[in-house]
Amino acid sequence: MGEQNLIGFERRYAVAAGAYLILLYGTLGVTPYFFRWLLRTVGRDAYSGSITLFLVACACFVLYRWRLHLRQITPIRALGLSMVGLGYGLISYTVVAAANRLHTLQYGLLVWLAMETIRPGRSLPKVYLLSFLFAIAAATVDESLQAWLPNRNGLPSDVLLDGFSVLLAQSAIFLVKDAPGLKTAKNT
């Protein structure tokens, strides 16, 4: 277990979550230019496909990271993970702006960092609720900041997309790491 401060937060995850939010908010003004450049450079089909492949590569990394936990997955949990994968697939298929597909990764990572930050000494329902609220607050701030930028637009629908991404990530974490009956010496 990492170092904790007086109020029971896992310090290394709190620092990572803070740095991640600074990176997320700090790049709001430049990301549209990057994605437009990428679109012009590789074309629409390769642009959309490259973002989808990037998300698949990230999912493979997560599955590799959780490989020890995955050995204990029951058929019911496997079905649940399939539903989570279907949810991510629906986002990837239905979200028009390919760059918005990255919201699934951005807010999935953010909620995982939040969960690991507040996990020590708290019950699972409280960990899931507090991390969800934190991620939704971060998404709301993100969209509010975008509303003030000339090259961005803050949309309530993006907060809903982020919330759906958070729920999918939390579902996957629960099924792989926190579900009752999983034997873990240390939840990492």
Q: Where along the chain do its domains lie?
A: 11-178
User: pTM for the whole thing?
Assistant: 0.79
Collapsing DSSP states into helix, strand and coil, what is residue 164? helix
Which element (helix H / strand E) includes 124? helix 124-148
Average pLDDT over residues 5-22: 81
pLDDT band at 113 (very low <50, low <70, confident <90, very high): very high
**Residue pLDDT, tens place only, 45-54:** 777 777 777 7
Dihedral (CA of 27, 23, 168, 38) sign: positive
Beta bridge partners of 10: 4
The predicted-structure confidence for 17-47, as pLDDT tens digits, reads as follows 998 898 888 888 787 788 788 888 888 777 7
Q: How far apart are the C-alpha atoms of 6 and 167, rounded to whole Å? A: 29
Q: How many CA atoms lie within 13 A of 104 on its CB side?
A: 25
Which residue shows structure tokens 């020590």? Answer: 120
Query: How many angstroms separate the CA atoms of 121 and 6, rounded?
Result: 12
Cβ contacts of 82-86, under 8 Å, gap ≥ 24 = 83/171, 84/168, 84/171, 84/172, 84/175, 85/59
β-pair partners for 4: 10
